[in-house]
Chain A
Amino acid sequence: MRVLVRPAQYAALALYILFLGFPLLWLISASVKSSGELNSLTVSLLPGEWHWDNYTEALEKQGLVRSAANSLIVALASTALSVVIAVPASYVLARLKGKVRAAGVGWILVSQVFPVVLIILPLYLILRTLGLADNLAGLTLVHTTYMLPFALWMLQGYVAAIPVELEEAGAMDGASRLTVLRTIVFPLLAPGVVATAMFSFVSSWNEFFFALVLLQSPENYTLPITLNMFVGGEGKVALGPLAAGAVLAAIPSIVFFSILRRKLTSGLMAGAVKG
């Protein structure tokens, strides 16, 4: 019996790897198959021959390129915006004690479990009143707002790790608070800001629900919305280019997440345990 434990464990691990990895492998494989092979009834994991045309075809679709550009604009703008406004606030959140901090942390936790469906209707009405519905600027503001709690949470952890003594030393030397922030806190915060920015970028790049509700004109669509349209119009779009488009859309997220892996796990742990 004892002897069988290890092999059984490896068999179980192999099943997990299959479950987690196979869908991804299949998507990538479909993206380099010819349309003949995709439509044939014999199913094979690896393509008979590698076709890169799917990628060029996907890129030739104007909708896809334009919506990728839209996604990029919204993700970059909302990332920049959320970092710029979250850094000062996270400093206060980390250094402040008492009720205000408790309220801030409480809000951050509550916002993680917000019933989006209750918010989306009024949010749509508010943005429409402001003339920002069906508008990339409006979507940017929404993404910024909904990324803020997590950005604040991550950043305040990084601020808390900076010893107050360093700031005090700076203040003793006669530096104003702004100078202390600029010359001592921000440089030490830089790695945290980079991690937060990457996470924000991915959240915005992947986001679907707000974009679906807020954007109505095809020229404003973000990448996830356009990909979804291609799914809806099945038959019109060949499977190969769709798979290629999906792979392209996933690349930035996967690259950033593999860089961020360690930082995110510790951040999430803190959130999960304290939540």
Chain B
Amino acid sequence: MTATLIRPSPTTGKARRKPALARTRRREAIALVLPSLIPILVLSVAPLVVGIFLAFTDARLVRHPDYGFAGVDNFTKLVGNDLFWDSLRIGMIWTVGVTLLQLAAAMGLALLLNSGLRLQGLTRVLALVPWAMPPVVVAIMWQMIYSANGGPLNAFLGSVGLPSDVNWLGDFSTALPAVIVVGVWVGMPQTTVTLLAGLQQIPAELHEAASVDGAGAWRRFTAVTWPSLRPIVTSITSLNFIWNFNSFSLVYVLTAGGPGGKTMVPVLFIYLEAFKNREIGYAAAMGLVLVVVVVLILAVYLRSQFRDDRAVKGR
């Protein structure tokens, strides 16, 4: 383990880098990676494998697990479970709603911040605060905002002459939209920052050329800005979709799925199935169905994006 570790250099920088950790150093590399690999294998890969396995068993959450192979029973049982499909539908409204509103709001803010207004520093700091805060604190904060007794939202609505006795998180019709707004508040900052970075990479000449050709603001956005941002929009939309679909804490603390299951997103539903009803195998089957649903939706979305790209390039 001396100087031979790093081989004498061939002429080019690239070729020199290539054997940086080749054969003789494999053992070293393994030794350096192992401390990371063990916890990942035990607490991340193994649970994933076990989770898929559990989906085909009738396991229950009891002290001495005595369970057997159940084949596809969990899945056939699932087909008739209306509550599960309800939660999937609510989860889709939540996920698509938050993801799209996040994108729209973040796009607006990013464009504003990119157009040379003052207050940029303040807005940028402010924009990252929601994302940094513990989800529990965010939920507590918004419960106060939405409060039916002396909450500032109702007070504001009252002062402009609108109905001011809405129980935002407790009413069947307003609970889901109210929760979606909080989701947008939390996730918008990160999307804004990413879009802003993307906007700053668009060469100013492109906009100038479009202006010279007589394009208005909207035309410049659709012809220059949007196409340039497309790859970034595709990746953050995919990531946001998955994060929102998997998000748990916010809804759990805000409404715990209520009122009357109107905000029961699938992750929450499965959590209750596993830890309140103690049906682990059944819950794992639901989890597996969710993963398949998300992967399918993403595959369709990404495919459509790439097809568009090809169409554009083919022209």
Contacts and interface: CB of A to CB of B under 8 A. Distances in A.
B313 interface: no
B20 A119 contact: no
Interface string A1-38: 00000000110110011011111101100100000001
A85 B39 contact: yes
Q: With a 10 A CB-CB cut-off, give which of A39, A91, A113 has the most chain B CB atoms.
A: A113
18 contacts: A9-B117, A20-B185, A27-B144, A89-B33, A97-B17, A113-B246, A115-B246, A115-B287, A117-B271, A118-B51, A118-B290, A125-B50, A145-B39, A164-B20, A174-B2, A176-B1, A231-B143, A239-B144
Contacts of A247: 137
Contacts of B228: none
Q: Is the interface of A mostly helix, strand, loop or mixed?
A: helix
Interface in B274-290: 274-275, 280, 283-284, 287-288, 290
A261 B136 CA distance: 22
Contacts of A137: none
Interface in A202-250: 202, 205-206, 208-209, 212-213, 223-224, 227-228, 231, 239, 242-243, 246-247, 249-250
A272 B266 CA distance: 25
Interface string A81-107: 000111011011101110010000001
Contacts of A261: 124-125, 128
Contact of B36 (A19, A89, A249): A89
Nearest to A19: B185
B236 interface: yes
Contacts of B291: 115, 118
B202 interface: no
A227 B248 contact: no
Contacts of B190: 268
B197 A265 contact: yes
B178 interface: no
Contacts of A116: 246, 248, 267
A43 B185 contact: no
B211 interface: no
Interface residues on B, range: 35 or more
Interface residues on A, range: 35 or more
Interface of A: 9-10, 12-13, 16-17, 19-24, 26-27, 30, 38-41, 43, 45, 84-86, 88-89, 91-93, 95-97, 100, 107, 111-123, 125-126, 141-142, 144-146, 148, 152, 164, 167-168, 171-172, 174-178, 202, 205-206, 208-209, 212-213, 223-224, 227-228, 231, 239, 242-243, 246-247, 249-250, 253-254, 256-258, 261, 265, 268-269, 272-273, 275
Given A17-B122, A116-B267, A209-B248, A243 B144 contact: yes
Contact of A92 (B32, B108, B270, B275): B32
Given A27-B144, A43-B150, A275-B239, A246 B137 contact: yes
A164 B150 contact: no
B109 interface: yes
Interface in B216-252: 231-232, 235-236, 238-239, 242-243, 246, 248-249, 252
Contacts of A145: 39-40, 42-44
A148 B43 CA distance: 11
B123 A17 contact: yes
B136 A265 contact: no
B99 to A, nearest CB: 13
Given A23-B141, A123-B47, A227 B123 contact: no
Given A26-B145, A273-B232, 19 more contacts: A9-B117, A24-B141, A26-B141, A38-B150, A41-B149, A95-B21, A96-B29, A97-B18, A112-B239, A117-B290, A118-B52, A119-B44, A119-B48, A125-B50, A208-B252, A223-B134, A227-B136, A246-B141, A272-B194
B209 interface: no
A268 B193 contact: yes
B141 A253 contact: no
Nearest to B156: A43
Interface in B20-69: 20-21, 25, 28-29, 32-33, 35-37, 39-40, 42-44, 46-52, 54, 65
